[in-house]
Chain A
């Protein structure tokens, strides 16, 4: 158990059953008064922020979170299944929890899955992924419209802006942190 004296930025605790990350903390104590421990916390499952003030004597259950390398297996509806290659253990994540990460999930992609007990609550992807363009308009030579990018769909269904010279069937590199086109894979 943690006490109020353990509170600091970065501490992970359980509140109403959910894991929370302390994102801001301050200790306040008016002269001759009782100490207050003021925190701002982020729910690690849904990202919502919470302000809570604690007093001396209160205690918290530590949230134990584990990050494991897992491989994306398949998608069924809005459920995504991952597997730990060492233990063959599988976890299912909902599309909502995945957020933008769903745009880059191709079968066999390896990602770091954050586990809270049995539950997968988040994922971190490699910074760059390679995906093939499945649909984009042909670049009309002599186009004077001044557009320096055009929309393209990649094999996961994700649509992004790419330079005009990119053609259907090409493999491109996408920065997963920004969701933007980075470069083209030659060859």
Chain B
């Protein structure tokens, strides 16, 4: 059983690489061990004895490469997030990220459609669909795009800002909205998140309460998170400080700020970038309900 999943995983890796190579993206490798990640309120990095951290995402280095003049980049790399373990989470997992200059989040949504169709066609040629918890999802059917506000009103029966204020946002999203999204026959994109839920994204020009951020859901499983990148270093520093202040209030450690990233952010062109959980893409392609079924070893087996 697991051996089939490992073959499928290898095929998906190859299909993803081919997809980006054919589109002229440069495949890069950036350091996994770094002095500072982007401080976020709810992401805890694994901190090594030297006080350096394992990356929680290659985001910081990818954007520095955009600032240095590269225009289309992708990377498949391991990321670590402390104490995240469940049927869809591993503390060490594999992330696919891609970035492009002179793009916005709409470009990324289109990329997602093409990528998922390519993976389904290449890795499941007989039956080019995804499967999750007994649902079949067709990436060739029209994708739905729903704003976060609309999703909360329609499925959650509650106003998203109200949910955020009362601390019910996560509960509503995972217990009510995600299961509702599982009922869609095609992938669904939730877009335009409240700005406070998008620490590194650009806000919408016409409404600064909303960020140009989206999440891709397939069969109710959150697969990717993309956004138009914030490239204002002052605003970015302010948000890092805000994240650290929130961590401090919650009794969490205050994290170091990645200064060289902020130093170069001003020269980053208008760009967009996205992170996609590759283990979850393997789950969907294999029809596996647990992330344990698509990795060579789980931490418990080590």
Residues of A that sit less than 8 Å from B by CB: 5, 25-36, 53, 56-57
Task: Chain B residues near A5: list those with CB within 8 A.
Answer: 83
- Decide yes or no whether B134 CB sits under 8 A from chain A: no
- Decide yes or no whether B222 CB sits under 8 A from chain A: yes
Separation of A57 and B44 alpha carbons in the complex (Å): 13
Contact for A33 among B84, B88, B170, CB less than 8 A: B170
User: Range of interface residues on chain B?
Assistant: 20 to 34
Separation of A103 and B205 alpha carbons in the complex (Å): 74
Pairwise interchain contact B197-A36, C-beta atoms closer than 8 A: no
Pairwise interchain contact B83-A31, C-beta atoms closer than 8 A: no
Pairwise interchain contact A29-B89, C-beta atoms closer than 8 A: yes
Separation of A27 and B85 alpha carbons in the complex (Å): 6
- Decide yes or no whether B19 CB sits under 8 A from chain A: no
Pairwise interchain contact A28-B225, C-beta atoms closer than 8 A: no
Task: Chain B residues near A27: list those with CB within 8 A.
Answer: 84-87, 89
Residues of B that sit less than 8 Å from A by CB: 40-42, 83-89, 169-171, 173-174, 178, 193, 197-199, 215, 222, 225, 250-251
Pairwise interchain contact A33-B250, C-beta atoms closer than 8 A: no
Contact for B84 among A25, A29, A32, CB less than 8 A: A29
Separation of A57 and B251 alpha carbons in the complex (Å): 8
Contact for A32 among B42, B85, B87, CB less than 8 A: B42
Contact for A29 among B41, B42, B193, B250, CB less than 8 A: B42
B155: min CB distance to chain A, Å: 14
Task: Chain A residues near B41: list those with CB within 8 A.
Answer: 34
Separation of A57 and B174 alpha carbons in the complex (Å): 20
A113: min CB distance to chain B, Å: 32
Task: Chain B residues near A33: list those with CB within 8 A.
Answer: 42, 169-170, 173, 197
Nearest 9 pairs of A and B residues by beta carbon: A27-B86, A31-B225, A33-B170, A28-B174, A30-B173, A5-B83, A26-B86, A32-B197, A34-B170
Separation of A26 and B173 alpha carbons in the complex (Å): 15
In this complex, the member of A25, A36, A57 whose beta carbon has the largest number of chain B beta carbons within 10 angstroms is A36
Task: Chain A residues near B199: list those with CB within 8 A.
Answer: 32
Task: Chain A residues near B170: list those with CB within 8 A.
Answer: 28-30, 33-36
Separation of A88 and B88 alpha carbons in the complex (Å): 51
Separation of A127 and B255 alpha carbons in the complex (Å): 57
Given A27-B84, A27-B85, A57-B251, decide whether A32 and B171 contact each other with a Cβ distance below 8 A: no
A107: min CB distance to chain B, Å: 46
Task: Chain B residues near A57: list those with CB within 8 A.
Answer: 250-251
B240: min CB distance to chain A, Å: 14
Pairwise interchain contact B89-A32, C-beta atoms closer than 8 A: no
Pairwise interchain contact A34-B42, C-beta atoms closer than 8 A: yes
Pairwise interchain contact B86-A28, C-beta atoms closer than 8 A: yes
Task: Chain B residues near A36: list those with CB within 8 A.
Answer: 170-171, 174
Task: Chain B residues near A26: list those with CB within 8 A.
Answer: 86-87
Pairwise interchain contact B215-A35, C-beta atoms closer than 8 A: no
Pairwise interchain contact A30-B222, C-beta atoms closer than 8 A: yes
Task: Chain A residues near B89: list those with CB within 8 A.
Answer: 27, 29
Task: Chain B residues near A29: list those with CB within 8 A.
Answer: 42, 84, 86, 89, 170
Task: Chain A residues near B85: list those with CB within 8 A.
Answer: 27
Separation of A156 and B86 alpha carbons in the complex (Å): 48
A5: min CB distance to chain B, Å: 5
Task: Chain B residues near A32: list those with CB within 8 A.
Answer: 40, 42, 193, 197-199, 225
Given A31-B222, A32-B40, A33-B173, 18 more A-B residue pairs with CB atoms under 8 Å apart are A5-B83, A27-B85, A27-B87, A28-B88, A28-B170, A28-B174, A29-B86, A29-B89, A30-B174, A30-B222, A32-B42, A32-B199, A33-B169, A33-B170, A34-B42, A34-B170, A35-B84, A53-B171
Task: Chain A residues near B197: list those with CB within 8 A.
Answer: 32-33
